Each structure stands twice: as C-alpha cells, then as structure tokens.
Structure 1
Amino acid sequence: MKRIKIDRTKCVGCLTCTTACIIAHDSREARSRITVDSNGSYAPIFCRHCDQPECVFTCMTGAMSKDYETGIVSYDKNRCASCYMCIMACPYGVLKADAKKQTEIMKCDMCISTSEGKPQCIAKCPMGALTLREVL
C-alpha cells in the first residue's frame, strides 16, 4: 500500500500542493482536499488511508470505504448522510466538510478520480518534499 509522505525539511509551506489538488479536481471552485497545519509553517497534512480507518468504521451508510487491494480509503457522496461521524472519528483531522456543499466531505482520493490518475500534489511540488512511498 502506498501513502503520501512529506519531508518537512524540504517543505517551505508554499502550498503548491493544495493548488494542484484544486486544479486536479475542479478548477472552477477553489476547494482543496488537503488539510493545512497552520501552526507556524503552513505544511500540508494528508489522509493516511489508514489500515484500520476509523472514518470507515463509523460511517453508517457505507459512504466511506476501504479498498484493501489498493489501500485507498474513498468517499461516495451519493451514499453520504452528512452526519459528519467520519470527520469526528478521524484521528488526524484531515477530513472536512465541503465549504461549498455542506452535505459533502472533502478528503484525499489519491487523484484516482482524475484523468491524471496519480497524486498531483506530488507531481507539482517544486521542492520535491512529497513522495509516494510503499508502507508495510
């Protein structure tokens, strides 16, 4: 299973990753799936696509699901009841309500829903601070 890793010694807080995310998913509305830690450095925090995802376990409708083959935790807006249990359950605080559509959740999907099919935050990071690494 692969996860996005950040080398905080290389990250300068430019937030190019968030812009790449916005463009990759919907360039008409500025909505990033990346959470930003604003405690001084403005560094991105990514969904960890957990092995035992609390967001999936607490989702009563099955809108949050884990593909154990790819390791990706995905969100199906058509099944979402907007209860926000997934947001409350995430131990990393990376899930958030969509500011434009309060009935939807914003989370990293590793860009599988885009034509690029690979995380654009990694592809566009000018400092090379983001990598996709295999984790055991």
Structure 2
Amino acid sequence: MHRILVDKDLCKGCKSCVLACMLRNSNAEDIYTLDLDSIDTESKNHIEMDRNNNPVPIFCRHCDEPECVMTCMSGAMSKDDETGIVSYDESKCGSCYMCVMSCSYGLLKVDDRSKQKILKCDLCKNEEIPKCVAMCPTGAIKLQKEDAYAR
C-alpha cells in the first residue's frame, strides 16, 4: 500500500503538482497544449496559503479510516483493503456531497461542469508513480510505502 506524504516546509507553491494532475486528467498531449481556462481541466489537488502566507499542498491522504467512505450513503466511495486506495465510483454517486463535507483535509470537491460528480485522486492508478510526486521539483510531495511506518 502507498500514500502521498507532504512536507509543507519544502513546498514553494509552484503548482507543478497541480499542473501535473490537470495534464494527467485531460486530453492534452503535453503541458503546452493544456487548456488552463477549460472547466473540464480540473486538478484533484490544490495549493492553499496558510495564515502566514506560506503554501500548503492539499492532497488526498487515502486515509486509514476515511471519513469520505464512512459517510458515503451510496457506496460510491470505497477503500481497497489491498492497495489502500480510496476510490470514487461516479456511477454509484447520489450527489449528496457528504464525502465533500466530511473530508478532514478539505480536498474533495464537486466538478465545475456537471456539479454532480466528485473530483477524487486515484493515485494515478495504473502508473508507477503519481504525476504530482514525479513533477514536484522540491521533493515536498513523496510517495511512501505503508510498510515504512507503523500502523
């Protein structure tokens, strides 16, 4: 099992992680053809500023006990016991937004186009390393194997 860890002290707010996520979840061939103004090009992570105006990367933590899964009444949110990935199944979603309201990290949001599906990180499923991790120039975003820390 894997999870993304964030060292906010290393984050410079460059948004390379956001652009990498947008590119991965779009039809653009590369960063130069990515339409940043399109509402269909949304990132599943973002950068906030803390009270001292320092950047704080906000990512899905694929929690051990995810509130989004516990509050999802339709079963659209689920956690894979083997991989640890918390997934979203749009076809099961009832658009109640309980997952959005319960996310401890304030990450989940409703898509801008339909206002009915949830934008949810899937750790770049079927890729060796998530794009946000691969594109972070400072190493603020890391992928850690679960066995590297105690449960």
* Large movers: runs of 4+ above 4 Å: none
User: Conserved in 1, the CA contact under 8 Å of 2:3 and 2:61?
Assistant: yes
2:5 alignment partner, SS class: strand
After superposition, the CA RMSD in angstroms is: 1.6
Aligned to 2:81: 68
How many percent of aligned residue pairs carry the same amino acid?
50
When Rg is computed on C-alpha atoms for both structures, the one with the higher figure is 2
Match for 1:42 among 44, 55, 61?
55
User: Which piece of structure 1 moves more, 28-37 or 74-83?
Assistant: 28-37
Match in the other structure for 1:125: 136
Q: CA deviation at 1:37?
A: 1.8
Kept in 1: contact 2:129–2:143 (CA 8 A): no
| Residue 53 of structure 1: how far off its partner (Å) | 1.1
What are the residue-to-residue correspondences of 1:23-42 with 2, within 5 Å? Answer: 23-26=23-26, 27=28, 29-39=40-50, 40-42=53-55
* CA deviation map 1:36-91 (0-9, x unaligned): 22332232111111111111111111100000100000001111111101111112
2:92 aligned partner: 79
1:96 equivalenced with 2:109 (yes/no): yes
Partner Cα distance (2:70, 2:8) in 1: 30
Q: Deviations over 1:5-54 (max 9, x none)?
A: 12223211101000000001114632000032233223211111111111
Q: Counterpart of 1:7?
A: 7
Could you list the runs of 5+ residues in structure 2 that have no partner in the other structure? Answer: 29-34
Distance in 2 between residues matched to 1:107 and 1:52, nearest whole Å:
16
Give the structure-2-normalised TM-score. Answer: 0.81
| Length-normalised TM-score, structure 1 | 0.90
Distance in 2, Cα, partners of 1:116 & 1:55: 24
Gapped regions of structure 1 (runs ≥ 5): none
Count of residues paired in the alignment: 134
